[in-house]
Amino acid sequence: MSVPIEITDLRVAYESDVEILRGVNLCAAANTMTAIIGPNGAGKSTLLKGVAGVAPVTRGEVKLGERRVEGLPTVDLVKAGISFVPQESSVFGQMTVAENLRLGGWHRRSERDWLNQRVQACGALFESIRPYLERKAGDLSGGQQKLVEIARGLVGEPSLLLLDEPTAGLSPVMVREVYRELARLKERRSVTVLLVEQNVREALEVADRVYVLAMGQNDTEGTAEDVSERLESIVRNWMSREGSGVVS
């Protein structure tokens, strides 16, 4: 079951003196797709990592439905229904694609029938990996590995899906496959999605709402249509800024 997410004044610092995220606010209704865009170093990926529990949150709140989840270990966040597909490669290269997918349902591994069915269903999502379920994931191309990670992120039937630049480094065919699946997810309205993307125009096409970050803070926000219309001025604004958003 999908849930809303509310992020209030979220701060993340990898080391005590280097704050990457400096009080970000975001609100996404259940079953919606929210795109997060911004220039390099804006803190987009760090925001998802903070929510997913793989970057240290130093202050602020993350509410998943009615439950506060900031600072929980990733094990509990996954059990709470959060699935994170990081930008960095996180595939298990020496395992088969099917084994990778099976690990996507790790928190419900005792429910074997359910897990088998989910592995089958998610293994069939992308044409580019469907024939290779028994092949070692490390032998696939970088793009195919990314699709394996996205499919793995869906195995556990998450209520909140965090996608960090899912199309980075993918071929145009694979980008279309990813966006076709995102469109399907949106149509089914079964999961809340936070999507960080560099392919801004494609992201705007599937998103309901858009947040723009710059220098570790909120810059602007609006519906996808609204941000599409203002996109040129928003980008011009990015270009005029200096620095990467890292404050020391």
Interface with other proteins (CB under 8 A): 13-16, 52-54, 56, 73-75, 77-79, 83-86, 88-95, 99, 103-104, 106-107, 109, 149, 152-153, 156
Angstrom distance (rounded) from CA 24 to CA 246 = 14
**What minimum distance in Å lies between the beta carbon of 107 and other proteins?**
5
Q: Which residue shows structure tokens 């998103």? A: 207
Q: Which two tokens stand for residue 50?
A: 């903070």
Nearer to other proteins, 56 or 222 (CB): 56
The closest alpha carbon to 215, from 22, 65, 50, belongs to 22
Strands of 69-133, DSSP E: 82-85
| CA–CA–CA angle 21, 220, 25 (5° rounding) | 45
The closest alpha carbon to 146, from 121, 119, 173, 120, belongs to 173
**What minimum distance in Å lies between the beta carbon of 88 and other proteins?**
6
Contact 101, 152 (CB under 8 A): yes
Nearer to other proteins, 101 or 170 (CB): 101
Nearer to other proteins, 147 or 200 (CB): 147
**What minimum distance in Å lies between the beta carbon of 201 and other proteins?**
28
Nearer to other proteins, 75 or 183 (CB): 75
- DSSP H helical segments within 80-141, as ranges? 97-103, 112-123
Nearer to other proteins, 67 or 109 (CB): 109
